């Protein structure tokens, strides 16, 4: 099985088993990702676009993982019907992403627009001061 770049997948909580989801692995729609020394199934943009059964009907996708806002993953969700996608454009610390996304969700629930919420939570637009990446917004 080909290696799938970590930044272009969504890691699930399901432990990886090479004998499960074989067709998905052959089609490069699922794979394995190492998290803390353990292997888990992950889904690729191909899974989101080709295997996911339902449309997202205007959903807001908030992706806390490193480099998830770098393109392919966001594009797959948007093509599946998401109204917007927010993710990081680089590697981010766990502490920072947890803190930023907690504040982001709070502002969104209060009715702030996604763009305004990103600007409000950090004066420099959602930048992780430790590692440097910013939050990226696709869509409205």
CA distances from 77 to 13, 49, 72, 84, 136 (A): 20, 7, 9, 8, 14
Q: What is the pLDDT, as a whole number, of residue 28?
A: 85
Q: What is the pLDDT, as a whole number, of residue 7?
A: 52
Contact residues for 8 (Cβ-Cβ < 8 A; gap 6+): 44, 45, 70, 72, 73
Q: What is the pLDDT, as a whole number, of residue 129?
A: 65
Q: What is the pLDDT, as a whole number, of residue 114?
A: 93
Q: What is the pLDDT, as a whole number, of residue 18?
A: 92
Query: What's the whole-model pTM score?
Result: 0.75
What is the signed CA dihedral for 3, 4, 5, 8, rounded to 10 degrees?
180
Per-residue pLDDT of the chain (140 residues; tens, 9 = 90+): 333 334 577 888 889 999 999 998 898 888 888 877 889 888 888 888 877 777 788 889 888 888 888 788 888 888 889 999 999 888 888 888 888 889 999 999 999 999 999 888 876 555 656 667 888 898 87
Contact residues for 13 (Cβ-Cβ < 8 A; gap 6+): 40
């Amino acid at each position: 099985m080909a290696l799938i770049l970590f930044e272009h997948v969504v890691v699930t909580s399901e432990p990886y088993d090479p004998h499960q989801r074989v067709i998905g692995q052959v089609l490069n729609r699922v794979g394995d990702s190492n998290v803390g020394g353990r292997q888990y199934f992950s889904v690729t943009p191909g899974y989101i676009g080709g295997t996911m059964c339902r449309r997202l009907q205007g959903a807001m996708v908030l992706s806390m993982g490193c480099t998830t806002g770098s393109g392919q993953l966001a594009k797959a969700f948007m093509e599946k019907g998401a109204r917007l996608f927010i993710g990081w454009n680089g590697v981010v610390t766990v502490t920072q992403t947890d803190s930023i996304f907690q504040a982001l969700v709070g502002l969104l629930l209060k009715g702030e627009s996604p763009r305004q919420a990103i600007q409000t939570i950090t004066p420099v637009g959602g930048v992780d001061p430790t590692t440097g990446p910013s939050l990226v917004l696709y869509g409205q």
